[in-house]
Copies of this chain bind each other. A is one copy, B any other.
Amino acid sequence: MAAEHCVVLVSGGLDSATVLAIARGRHQYCHALSFDYGQRHRAELTAAAQVAQSLGACEHRVVTIGIDAIGGSALTDMRIAVPETPTSGIPVTYVPARNTVFLSLALGWAEVIGCADIYIGVNAMDYSGYPDCRPAFITAFAQLANLATRAGVEGTTRFAVHAPLMDMHKDDIIREGLSLRVDFAQTVSCYQADAAGLACGRCDSCRIRRDGFLKAGVADPTRYRSG
């Protein structure tokens, strides 16, 4: 039973949509999970709901987290601007411990569902240099998961955290997604997308996404706002 189910973190972006498509090929029931954490690009939540439905997730839940109460990121603190030119080091769009928080809640839900497999769309190739997107982080979280839970203690479940895009470049992710019939027009990657989901075309995430479509030789379906 359990192996037919999995939890997939779905942000509404390009990567997690591809991960959901991959997970759907392996599991009959994909439980999609998104977070409303006070992010400035809340349009991604609308995108996440569309993506979850299009790709056949069996359900989609949105957990609210008041992560903006601790601040410290351009994505959750409206007083910090999103950079529109490349920066060195880890950028201010990094949200402290975000993936740890997200995976923790995914773990809790997996335990409630009774499934062992958790999918996350991180990758450490064409990315913003966030520490919680690296292989060592994913491995450490999986170890923690098996100590942190009832299922781990009772030995009924051996949790696995899957990051199938970890070693892929953006153009490869796009090709993979297209082969699995992902409709990237539904996805929103921009850090400062407006309420309608229109992208700025200038932030880190927009640049990485646009370069990906260019390299993949595929028309970019992103809806950019003018000006």
Interface residues of A (CB under 8 A from B): 36, 61-67, 69-72, 89-90, 94-101, 104-105, 107-109, 111-112, 131-132, 134, 136-137, 140-141, 143-145, 147-150, 152-154
Query: Can you list 19 A-B contacts (CB < 8 A)?
Result: A63-B67, A63-B69, A65-B65, A67-B105, A70-B109, A72-B108, A72-B112, A90-B154, A96-B111, A96-B112, A96-B150, A97-B104, A97-B108, A99-B148, A100-B148, A131-B152, A134-B147, A140-B148, A143-B144
Known: A90-B153, A101-B101, A144-B140. A96 touches B69 (CB 8 A): no
Extra pairs beyond A63-B65, A71-B112, A104-B104 (4, CB < 8 Å): A63-B66, A72-B112, A131-B152, A143-B144
* Most B CB within 10 A of own CB, among A61, A63, A144: A144
In the complex, the chain B residue whose C-beta lies closest to that of A149 is: B131
The answer to whether A70 touches B131, judged by C-beta atoms less than 8 angstroms apart, is no
Chain B contacts for A90, CB-based, 8 A = 150, 153-154
Judged by DSSP, the binding face of A is helix
Cβ 8 A contact of A107, one of B36, B100, B105: B100
* A147-B153 in contact given A70-B112, A98-B108, A112-B70 (Cβ < 8 Å): no
Give the nearest-CB partner of A150 in chain B: B90
Nearest opposing residue in chain B for A130, CB measure: B150
Which of chain B's residues has its CB closest to A33's CB?
A: B70
Given contacts A62-B69, A97-B111, A107-B100, are A144 and B144 in contact (CB under 8 A)? yes
Query: With the chains together, A147 CA to B136 CA distance in Å?
Result: 7
